[in-house]
Chains A and B, each alone.
Chain A
Amino acid sequence: MNELKIALQSLKMSVRTRMQYRVDSLVATLAVFIRESANIIVIYLALLKFDNINGWNVNEMLFLFSLLFLTYAFVVSLFADLRDFSRMIREGRFDRLMVRPRGLLFQLILNNADLMASAGHGTLGILLFLISAGKVGICWDFATILYYLGAIIGGVLLQGGMFIFFSSLSFYFLETNSLREIFYWNMRKFAGYPISIYHKLIQGLLIYVVPFAFVNYFPAQYLLRKPDLINYNEIYIYIAPLVGIAVYLSSYLFWRVSVRRYYSTGN
């Protein structure tokens, strides 16, 4: 119970920090919203011309995108401190957490939550969902809603797990941002589209290495059943929420091992 209280307190601290600079926070939220919307508008306009991408029409594409934005809205607040973790290590800010009577990862979660980015991504995600969800032929019954929520949670855990994994690398290397840039951010850009449009190699990366396909493509496929699903084992669409849990847990184990190593090497 006390754990939950701490988490809420961290959130409260984050809100207060952002409230210190209200205008700045508002502008930042807007900036994130506009930046991400611009991408969507480009795709929207393109689809008006081409009608569909590999069988996916405009609304289905927007639905695919909405999953990416909604999950990221949670990730960016829950795991904000892990985004630039190597700097935290270099500046010695991590050491102060090590002498506090709380779990290390637990102290990082919700700390410095990037609520502006959350608001920006979240608003866009909800907007895209509202636009598309009614028009893509999903029957929103209890089972579907349950799956959908599971997919969101799985997607959050999956990306959180990746953040934890890349942060753990900071215990071994001084600078890990370029790795993260290549493997996380670039892959995330690919994940906006149905993965069947890509070369086999990139598909493989998105499924087995940086499994963004389980954040939005496979969950969307469970709900939409587009014909390009035939290229993949159908089991993927059922296990999508579980993949998130698996990635999170294995990243957590890697984190534990890495922290233990950090104790003996120092910074």
Chain B
Amino acid sequence: MIVLKNVCKTLSGREVLKNISLHIAENELVGIIGQNGAGKTTLLNTITGILKPDSGFIRTLEKENPAAEKRVLQNLVYLSGNRSQLWEDLKIKDSIDHCIEMYRLDPSTAKKRLDELEEIFEIRSFRNSPPCHLSLGERMRCELVYGLLPQPRLLILDEVMNGLDFSFKHKIMEYFKDYGNKEHTTILYASNQLSEVEQLCRRIILIHQGSVLFDGRTAQIIALFSPCYRIEAVFSGNFPDFEDLPLEKYRLEGDLLTVDYDIHKIETVQILRHLMEKCCIRNIRILKPNLEETIQKIYGGANGKYN
């Protein structure tokens, strides 16, 4: 679906992409994360062909020059939270009509699909309002409908959850989770909201200073970069002795015991067994590191390395 080989790009004297190589298969849902200015948007622009790489090879939807081929663009939708597709002064339904013509959609199929989408994204009541009368979140929902209507094979979403409230975020993420397989669509999902990406994408690509710092399964990046788990236990009785266990650190505050350990050195179950034997546990909680902590850790390390 998408292949990039040694792609480099310099924009106004700054190396924005450095030797990026990627392979994204059909129907994959890939999260793209990185700090501000890491090169996420440049990467997406390169993938769509809006921007040509200085060197290296790109291939999107089987074409090396996607943006120059109308047949490719027919199957590609690029939605961005800060670039509206809708007509500012016109009713939402006029913008949608325009989309139907623009992508040469079959009117009856489009109407059926629009019906479904309006239902899911709950935008039916805005049909006759222009975007300027809607809130940011309502607008974003309309943008998403505009983008999903042509049933693209490649859907690029850049910060599209802007302004959406919690329940809608949840609903839309649930919708996207199995969207790819159901509709045969590859989705690139770029966002600064790491919890969204963690929930939604099994694979993530971490861009840092123009390079791919990590590309793989979300669970893997967490295990790789932040192997520390934590057990919080409320106990009664004697304080257990940990001397023979390879823990990172432990702390006692009143009856709350906090244990940090590296899962590569010791398994959770070993610690639990030890605790159960030595004292009386009343309550226990095991905390896994999340993507956000992991990324913070990586940046800490990476920045150190680059400084």
Are the C-beta atoms of B73 and A263 separated by less than 8 Å? Answer: no
Q: Which residues of A contact B289 (CB under 8 A)?
A: none
Contact B11 A99 (CB under 8 A): no
Q: A95 contacts which chain B residues (CB < 8 A)? A: 45, 50, 83
Complex-state Cα separation, A102 to B69, whole angstroms: 9
Q: Which residues of A contact B90 (CB under 8 A)?
A: 13, 16-17, 20
A9 neighbours in B (Cβ, 8 Å): 97-98, 101
CB pair B98 A20 closer than 8 Å: no
- Is the CB–CB distance between A266 and B103 below 8 Å? no
Determine whether the beta carbon of B101 is less than 8 Å from that of A6. yes
Give Cα distance in the complex from A95 to B188, angstroms.
18
Beta-carbon contact of B71 and A101 below 8 Å = yes
Chain A nearest Cβ from B248, distance in angstroms: 46
Closest to A95 in B: B50
Using known A-B contacts A96-B83, A266-B45, determine if residue A102 contacts B50 with beta carbons closer than 8 Å: no
- B11–A101 contact, CB under 8 A? no
Q: How far is the CA of A98 from the CA of B78 in the complex (A)?
A: 10
Q: How many Å from the CB of B134 to the closest CB on chain A?
A: 15
Contact A2 B104 (CB under 8 A): yes
What distance in Å separates the Cβ of B215 from its nearest Cβ neighbour in chain A?
Answer: 24
**Do A99 and B94 form a contact, CB below 8 Å, given A5-B101, A9-B101?**
no
* A189 close to B (CB within 8 Å): no
Chain B residues with CB under 8 Å of A13's CB are 87, 90, 94, 98
Q: A101–B71 Cα gap in the complex (Å)? A: 7
- Indicate whether A200 reaches chain B with its CB closer than 8 angstroms: no
Interface of B, secondary structure class, is mixed
Whether A101 lies near B103 (C-beta < 8 A) is yes
Contacts of A16 in B (CB 8 A): 90-91, 94
Binary B-proximity of A8-30 (CB < 8 A = 1, otherwise 0): 01000100110010000000000
Which one of B70, B83, B91 lies within 8 Å of A101 (CB-CB)?
B70
CA distance A205 to B119 in the complex (A): 61
Chain A residue with Cβ nearest B91: A16
Which residues of B from 47 to 106 have beta carbons under 8 Å from A?
48-52, 54, 67-68, 70-71, 73-74, 76-78, 83-85, 87, 89-91, 94, 97-98, 101-104
CA distance A93 to B83 in the complex (A): 7
Shortest CB-to-CB span from A219 to chain B, Å, is: 36
Given the complex, which residues of B lie within 8 Å of A2, measured CB to CB? 101, 104
The listed residue (A92, A100, A264, A265) touching B102 by CB distance below 8 A is A100
Does any Cβ of A come within 8 Å of B130's Cβ? Answer: yes
A1 CB to nearest B CB, Å: 11
Nearest 7 pairs of A and B residues by beta carbon: A101-B73, A101-B74, A264-B52, A99-B78, A101-B70, A17-B89, A263-B52
Residue contacts A-B, CB under 8 angstroms, 13 given: A5-B101, A6-B102, A9-B98, A13-B87, A13-B94, A20-B89, A95-B50, A99-B73, A101-B104, A102-B70, A264-B54, A266-B11, A266-B42
